[in-house]
Structure 1
């Protein structure tokens, strides 16, 4: 069975078990729906993310330190989807991460228009402005490594208006093929 199908099967099994546990947890069933007041999350006025949340789920974001990509783990209340991963990545490092020397090559840019997942490949739609220049290799590396940190994403393709575009690799070449973290291994810091 292909790895991505096994992942979907495993998630289906986990969801079935969770549904069974939730159904039998003693929460009474109500006859009609009721409104739930959910407060909107707040961010600092600078747009920088607040201190890392805690929770059972984890996300791996790739930030920049000393010209290298560094994986940072954050805890979340729920498993992040690809769009949430990119939103968190684009928000940049938390204050604590900045204190540890982390930064981003994506700061201040409207880099990603959208991301969609199709058969284990993330299609990242870019707006005008990020043209795949070689000096953007860290920015593309951050996106690719962050998205492929999810087990259900095996590659990342970049598009503009639905058409594949070439993006830089560490060897200064451009690629229009699905990219993986291994393509940016030369930029990933060891430890």
Structure 2
């Protein structure tokens, strides 16, 4: 059976927020930090699986560095929010600068019910979509519902949109079931 992550070409999309999914392009953050945006092709792939417009080619190393810089600013701001710390002004500046670039306009298809893919746009315009999503998240109704997954080997952030606001995992299928199974084994392993 193919999981959602496999359909997303190995990139995790479990946060409920585009900008937090972009932060997740470093896997196992603070554990063994596996970079997933290793080259321009992997950045284009992430844009594709995230449902964003393609970036105009060629994407050079400096554009990849810009994308990673935005991602790390988002990580810094997210971590500060989750940990209750003051946001770093430099990270806010990077985010605001990225968000100031014009974004691609959606195009309605002739069936009047779907969005037609737009032509490739400058990478800065694609990253601006991610940056604006972050501004909406950090200033919107869920700004105090950004969480760090409590999964044993998970480093993902997510937006808790549950009614009670008590969600603990990025997804029940990915981390919640593992935690539940481990707790069950601890409870029932001791009685045998």
Work out whether the TM-score is over 0.5: no
| Range into which the TM-score falls when normalised by the shorter chain | under 0.3
Tell me the TM-score normalized by structure 2.
Answer: 0.26
The structure that is strand-richer by fraction is 1
The structure that is helix-richer by fraction is 2
Tell me the TM-score normalized by structure 1.
Answer: 0.27
Q: Which has the higher contact order (CA 8 A, sep 6+)?
A: 2
